[in-house]
Amino acid sequence: MSYKIPMGPYHPALEEPYKLDMICEGETVIDAKLHIGFNFRGIEHLAETRNHIQVIALMERVCGICSFIHTLTLCQSMEGLAGITPPPRALYIRTIMAELERLHSHVLWAGIAAKLMGFKTMFMTCFEIREKIMDILAAISGNRVNYSMNRIGGVNRDITDPQAILKMVEALELEMARTVIPIFTTSRTATSRCAGIGVLTTERAASCGVVGPVARASGLPQDLRRAAPYAAYAEMEFDVPVQPAGDVTARLLVRALEIMESCKILRQALAKLPPGEFHTEGEKFAFITGTSTSRVEAPRGEVMYSVSWKEGSRNPARVHVRTPTYAVMPAIKWMVKGARLADTPLIQASIDPCYSCTDR
C-alpha cells in the first residue's frame, strides 16, 4: 500500500518554504511532486516600475545568499544596453566579490548539510568559517548580505588594501584545507550518509537542464566562468571540478574542490588587481531600445538576466530572471525516487536550493 508523506512548506529540514509530496511504499519513495511559490514576490513585474538605480537595489533582494551575483548580472545587461565597458579594476573587484560570495555560499551549504547528517560539530565549524568570509565581504563592501557593490559602469567601492584581504583569504584557505575538506571527504559520518544516495545520472541531468555544482557532480563539465568568461575570469587560471557519480557525495566533493579553486582565483585576482578607476567617471549614458542578456556562474549555477528597455524610458520594459535553482529543483523528483524516506532531507538539501531565487 502506498501513502503520501508531505515535507514542507514549513519543516525542520528546510531553510525556506517549499513542499515535497512524496508517495512512499514502506520506507521507499516511489514518486514525488514539488510545489513552489511560497516566496513569490512578483519581483520581475515590480522591476518594470523602478528606474535604472532603483532596479539594482530591488534585484539585489531576489536572493540573500547570492545578492552580489544578481546585481552583477543585471548591471552587465544594462551596460550592454548603455554601451558601457567598466574599467579593468572594476572587473577584478567584481571577480573577487563573486568568488567570496561563492565561498560563503558553499561553506553555508556545507554547514547545513552537516546539520542534516547529524554532524553538529561540523555545522558549528562551517558557520565559524563562514563568519570570517562575511568579515572579508564586510571589510570590502561595508555590508554583510546586500553589498550594494555593483553599479552601471563598475563598482561602488574600491579595494584599497588588497594585501590585507589576501592575508585573510590565505588564513581562510588554510583553515578550510585543514578542517572542512578533509572531514567532509574522509569522515565516516559524512561518507556513510552521502554515498550512493540521491543519484542524478548524466543523461537525466542533461535532459533536466541542470546547472552549476549539481550538473558538474553528474559528469557535465559546464561552467560559464570557463565557457563564456565575464568580469576578469578570462585572465584567471582555475580548474572546473567534475565528478561522474551524481550522488550526494559527488555534490559534496565538487563544492569542496570549488572552495579551493575559488581561493586560487582570489589569490590571483588580488595579486594582479590593476590600478585605475573602479567605475566609469562622470560618463553620461542612455539606454538604447532593445534587449540585452547576460549570464553569470553563481554559486548554485547559471543565472541569466534578460533586460529590455525603450529609448527615453525611465524604467525597464521587462526584466526576466532565470535562477539556477529554478533549473535544478525539478530534478529532485528523480533524485528521491527509490531513496529511503530518511535520506530525503539530505538529498533535497544537496542541490543547495534557494527558494527565494526560485520564486522571485
Closest CA to 182 of 293, 259, 270: 259
Q: Could you give the C-alpha distances from 40 to 37, 62, 269, in angstroms and in order?
A: 5, 10, 37
| Number of other residues whose CB lies within 10 A of the CB of residue 10 | 11
Told to check if 346 binds another protein by CB under 8 A, we report: no
* Euclidean distance between CA atoms 15 and 349, whole angstroms: 9
What's phi and psi for 336, nearest 5 deg?
-85, -15
Residues 68-97 that bind another protein (CB under 8 A): 77, 80-81
Query: By three-state DSSP, how is residue 12 classified?
Result: coil
| Among the residue ranges 56-64, 175-183, 243-251, 290-298, the one whose residues contact another protein (CB under 8 A) | 290-298
* Euclidean distance between CA atoms 353 and 129, whole angstroms: 21
Please identify, using beta-carbon distances, which residue of 184 and 355 lies nearer to another protein. 355
Told to check if 222 binds another protein by CB under 8 A, we report: yes
Please identify, using beta-carbon distances, which residue of 88 and 330 lies nearer to another protein. 330
* Euclidean distance between CA atoms 129 and 259, whole angstroms: 12
Told to check if 191 binds another protein by CB under 8 A, we report: no
**Residue 257-286 contact track with another protein, rule CB under 8 A, x = bound:** ------------------------------
Provide, rounded to whole angstroms, the least separation between the CB of residue 159 and another protein.
27
Among residues 304, 332, 336, 347, the one that binds another protein under rule CB under 8 A:
304
Told to check if 302 binds another protein by CB under 8 A, we report: yes
Please identify, using beta-carbon distances, which residue of 17 and 196 lies nearer to another protein. 17
Q: What angle do CA 167, 144, 16 make, to 5 degrees?
A: 125
Told to check if 45 binds another protein by CB under 8 A, we report: yes
Q: Could you give the C-alpha distances from 188 to 191, 195, 324, 331, in angstroms and in order?
A: 5, 10, 31, 27
Q: Could you give the C-alpha distances from 288 to 49, 79, 154, 244, 315, in angstroms and in order?
A: 18, 11, 19, 45, 12
| DSSP strand pairing (19-25 vs 2-7) | antiparallel
Provide, rounded to whole angstroms, the least separation between the CB of residue 193 and another protein.
29
| Among the residue ranges 61-69, 112-120, 143-151, 226-234, the one whose residues contact another protein (CB under 8 A) | 226-234
Among residues 61, 157, 267, 322, the one that binds another protein under rule CB under 8 A:
322
Please identify, using beta-carbon distances, which residue of 194 and 214 lies nearer to another protein. 214
Told to check if 48 binds another protein by CB under 8 A, we report: yes
Binding residues vs another protein (CB under 8 A): 33, 35-38, 40, 42, 45-46, 48-49, 77, 80-81, 206-209, 222, 224, 226-228, 290-295, 302, 304, 306, 308, 317-318, 320, 322, 326-327, 330, 359
